[in-house]
Chain A
Amino acid sequence: MISFQRRSGSSLGWNVVCYSAAISGALLASAVLLRLSGGDPARAFTALIVGAFGSQGALLGSLAKATPLLLVGLGTVFAFRAKIWNIGQEGQVFAGAMAAYWVSFWIAPLPGWLAVCTLALAGMAGGGVLGLLAGALKTRFGTSEIISTVMLNYVVMYLLAYLLDGGPWMATGVTVSYHQSPPIDPSLEWPILLAVGAGKLHVGFLFALAASAFAAVLLDKTSLGYEIRAFGSNPTALTFRGTNVRRLLLTVMLMSGALAGLAGAGELFGVSHRLRAETLLGIGSSGIVVAMVGGLRPSGVMIAALFFGALESGTIYMRLKSGTPAGLVSAMEGLVLLFFLSAAVATRLQIVRREVHA
């Protein structure tokens, strides 16, 4: 008789088998969806790969799309490893962009690199404060962070809607379009590291790489990282160890929000150059998916962010080239998540053959 049993350690070979099966399964299920909607899976996948990796420009485009996902994903890793369910990344991305935008009014005379750092810090402060607020609600009043972070998403989004729809940040001109600010001061646009055709990689990518290294070192090599992991597995034991768990929770929420906020600032000053809700929507939720698919490990998150960045970048080409509807692209992303989460469960199990005695 064959049965499943929890695995005591992890096996590299089994992990490879599980995740390969997940990728194949996700691709197969996506192909079925494409076929059912009248598309040609081979043509669509070819377009997807060409759009994501087919040229230097495409590759840069994929890296640019991966940048905010990596930052949000890393922020999510801090929170989820501590089993603190911060799901307010959407709002924290918005808050980061909004804080950096507000600060940008005051820093035009600063030299380039100083302005970039100031805006990055402002973005981190915006997202971090929002995270901290949800953390404070939990430590002070015991409010579930799941509820408070989701509710704060709405608060921030409606605040932005107010500011841009007739409020002080609305663009003015011959005609106005609601929902967007005027363009940012061109001197404050984040420097482009590499640009080939449509592919432009801004300096925020370096921040994301630095954040990845920081997260990996912090989680594995520092006492704070140990406390974060321990908080996730046994907070009571951590209390007996003498750790101030309230302060730890606030620190985690601050870091988690700050990284999401940095992603928002990068998108505003590196990509869109105009504050507009549509360009920020979905980054937070995709970042959570990236963290989950990446197994809540910084290295895994990097790979997952590159994968999803390529998917997002390549799907534009796929939509244009093969006429795949946008809704199907979201469904494909969802399928990847489902298969990867299933694979993550499977890696923790092993197949055991038991002899049945009559």
Chain B
Amino acid sequence: MTNTITRRTAILGTAGALLLSGLVRSFADVPKTLKLAVILQDLPDVGWDRTLLDALEQLKQERPEGLEIAWEHTDPLYGDDAENAMRFYAESGEYDIIWGHGTYSDQVQKLSVEFPDLMFVVTGSGNHPAGPNQYWIYKRLHEPSYLLGMLAGHTTKTGMVGIVGTFPANDVNDQINAFFEGAKSIRPDIQHRLSFIGSWSDNALAAEHANVQIAAGADVVFMLTDNFKPCQEHKIMCFANINDQSKVAPDAIASSAIISWKPDLNWIIGEWLKHKAGAQFNGNAEPKWFSMAEGGTDIAPYHDFDGKIPQAVKGEISAKRQEILSGKFVVPLNTAEVK
């Protein structure tokens, strides 16, 4: 008996072998681990940084796409020190994503061409496009700020609400406008006091501005800075932003406009997996942000204020939140500077 290989068998055999080898290769190429190097602009306990590290911790437990997630983070770095740190991580070859958690496009621009297979992420304002392997994430807190504005409108007795801001930046103005809009939706005659302290972190100055606003009649204050002593001393309701800061001043902070980095991280992981599967990097030139409906932001629980806020008010805010989530109500995104 002679062994003859027919043409059909040969074709089927070759196709099968190719398919099998492709399958084996694709299984072998599916990444099992993801390692990030995170460059921080502030200390890890500052809200902007803490929320990212918390989200990474959650994702580590959840293992999206079966990935084992690990990361290293620095203490505050900027300028050429940040660039050196990024280069150190890039050259080590141990990291898949270099995440500059702040304004780092200048540094990424100097490295992105040299390390074209490495993914860079930058966050927040002040960044700019820096090549296809830089992804730019933004945060918009106008939706939860609107809801806090509604609570402020219901709570104020003097008819005046205050905001102590950092800088009139694009991603600060959106919160301020939405907060006032929310308050006006409840009380159209609402008055406001607004001041910018000209710093991201001068808490003593923030307290001085808050005291001035309270003395001028504001009895609900949205603190975009981290000092709630004036609220406690004057026994008024205040709000925080970025993370749930109720524990800092449970007797003063009724709620907070909070951010979550989980949708951002999931998006980045998805883009990174696409690249690992063979696609080109496709970094965004316009900043990308995730809405409340997408899980990017929310309002924090009322904690100690739960029993103090009337049920009807809570119900109204909850209903508006649902409308925002369903898309029935769209909070206007207004980044104009409020005077």
Cα distance A273–B79 in the bound complex, in angstroms: 10
A151 proximal to B (CB < 8 A): no
Q: Do A173 and B128 form a contact, CB below 8 Å, given A61-B84, A161-B198, A198-B83?
A: yes
Cα distance A175–B129 in the bound complex, in angstroms: 11
Stretch at the interface among B15-23, B162-170, B209-217, B261-269: B162-170
Q: Do A176 and B125 form a contact, CB below 8 Å, given A165-B198, A276-B79, A319-B74?
A: yes
Query: Is A320 a contact of B126 with CB atoms below 8 Å?
Result: no
A residues 148-183 near B (Cβ < 8 Å) are 161, 165-166, 171, 173-178, 180, 183
Q: Do A166 and B168 form a contact, CB below 8 Å, given A174-B128, A175-B138, A278-B78?
A: yes
Cα distance A175–B168 in the bound complex, in angstroms: 11
Q: CB-nearest residue of chain B relative to A279?
A: B79
Residues of B within 8 A of A171 (CB): 126
Q: Do A165 and B103 form a contact, CB below 8 Å, given A174-B287, A198-B87?
A: no
Query: Is A279 a contact of B168 with CB atoms below 8 Å?
Result: no
The size class of the interface chain A forms with chain B is 20 to 34
A38 proximal to B (CB < 8 A): no
B residues 283-313 near A (Cβ < 8 Å) are 286-287
Q: Do A326 and B75 form a contact, CB below 8 Å, given A176-B169, A198-B87, A320-B85?
A: yes
Please tell me which one of the listed residues A175, A316, A317 contacts residue B287 in the complex, with CB atoms under 8 A apart: A175
Please tell me which one of the listed residues A177, A271, A273, A278 contacts residue B126 in the complex, with CB atoms under 8 A apart: A177
Query: Is B286 a contact of A273 with CB atoms below 8 Å?
Result: no
Query: Is A175 a contact of B75 with CB atoms below 8 Å?
Result: no
B27 proximal to A (CB < 8 A): no
Residues of A within 8 A of B91 (CB): 197
Residues of A within 8 A of B87 (CB): 197-198
Q: Do A178 and B79 form a contact, CB below 8 Å, given A165-B198, A273-B106, A319-B74?
A: no
Query: Is A272 a contact of B75 with CB atoms below 8 Å?
Result: no
A residues 259-287 near B (Cβ < 8 Å) are 271-274, 276, 278-279
Q: Chain B nearest CB: distance from A322 CB in Å?
A: 12
Judged by DSSP, the binding face of B is: loop
A325 proximal to B (CB < 8 A): yes
Q: CB-nearest residue of chain A relative to B72?
A: A320
Please tell me which one of the listed residues B77, B88, B171 contacts residue A317 in the complex, with CB atoms under 8 A apart: B88
Query: Is B80 a contact of A279 with CB atoms below 8 Å?
Result: yes
B residues 165-221 near A (Cβ < 8 Å) are 167-171, 198
B332 proximal to A (CB < 8 A): no
B residues 79-95 near A (Cβ < 8 Å) are 79-81, 83-85, 87-89, 91
Q: Chain A nearest CB: distance from B2 CB in Å?
A: 65
Give the number of chain B interface residues (Cβ < 8 Å).
32
Please tell me which one of the listed residues A61, A161, A178, A279 contacts residue B169 in the complex, with CB atoms under 8 A apart: A178
Please tell me which one of the listed residues B75, B103, B128, B287 contacts residue A325 in the complex, with CB atoms under 8 A apart: B75
Q: Chain B nearest CB: distance from A55 CB in Å?
A: 11
Query: Is B88 a contact of A320 with CB atoms below 8 Å?
Result: yes
Cα distance A180–B79 in the bound complex, in angstroms: 11
B260 proximal to A (CB < 8 A): no
Residues of B within 8 A of A61 (CB): 84
Query: Is B170 a contact of A176 with CB atoms below 8 Å?
Result: yes
Query: Is B103 a contact of A177 with CB atoms below 8 Å?
Result: yes
Query: Is B79 a contact of A175 with CB atoms below 8 Å?
Result: no
B76 proximal to A (CB < 8 A): yes
Cα distance A65–B117 in the bound complex, in angstroms: 30
Residues of B within 8 A of A317 (CB): 84, 88
Query: Is B83 a contact of A278 with CB atoms below 8 Å?
Result: no
Query: Is B126 a contact of A176 with CB atoms below 8 Å?
Result: yes
- Chain B 106-144 interface 0/1 with A at a Cβ cutoff of 8 Å (1 = within): 100000000000000000111110000000001000000
Q: CB-nearest residue of chain A relative to B90?
A: A198
Residues of A within 8 A of B81 (CB): 316
Residues of A within 8 A of B103 (CB): 177, 180
Residues of B within 8 A of A326 (CB): 75-76
Cα distance A320–B75 in the bound complex, in angstroms: 9
Q: Chain B nearest CB: distance from A160 CB in Å?
A: 12
Q: Chain B nearest CB: distance from A48 CB in Å?
A: 14
Cα distance A326–B84 in the bound complex, in angstroms: 15
Cα distance A271–B89 in the bound complex, in angstroms: 20
B-to-A contact residues, CB < 8 Å = 72, 74-81, 83-85, 87-89, 91, 103, 106, 124-128, 138, 167-171, 198, 286-287
A-to-B contact residues, CB < 8 Å = 61, 161, 165-166, 171, 173-178, 180, 183, 197-198, 271-274, 276, 278-279, 316-317, 319-320, 325-326
A sample of 10 inter-chain contacts (CB < 8 A) reads A171-B126, A175-B127, A176-B170, A177-B103, A183-B106, A198-B88, A271-B80, A316-B85, A319-B74, A320-B74
